[in-house]
Structure 1
């Protein structure tokens, strides 16, 4: 089974994992294994996991990770409205206005909405 994450819908996209792989392929493989194990752990369904990951990527302003997992969240059944809400809920908790608007922009770019 191919366990790679689907990449962004953007024409040019290089993931952070790909960048790490250029320097340290064994470390990149180990990190990927950790992510596969983390995804398999627990009881959250794929949609819940992806929405949770979106929060983390939005809070850290990790555009690449956010875009990849935005696509995965939609593929797992999340609606654009749910993705928008998960980002907007961070307003005033973990994020200020600018990072929330950035993440919403990434989501709309990624999902074509």
Structure 2
């Protein structure tokens, strides 16, 4: 947060506290308010309502942003799990082909169809 933003927040906080203090005094004297004091009370009540509406909107926006971030995190975690599963299957297939080729090491001519058959054997095992 920048110093300017912090200063603005502090100023708004002080103004809000002053309005609340004045509201409490005016509410305590509600039966004997002058027209000027009554107008001030109305002004302050509206200001407090506006501030609370703004705060609620801000909170809602932050909650939505947090939910969006949580949704993105869950989606990323699911993609990682899927990628790890695919990696494990690929490693297993390579191991299966390597074992096949080692068994066939004495036979110089290994046909591509034999390698594909070894991969198919791996698919049937998973």
TM-score by length of 1: 0.25
**Higher RCO (CA-CA < 8 Å; seq separation 6+):** 1
Q: Under a length normalisation based on structure 2, what TM-score does the superposition of the two structures give?
A: 0.23
Structure showing greater Rg: 2
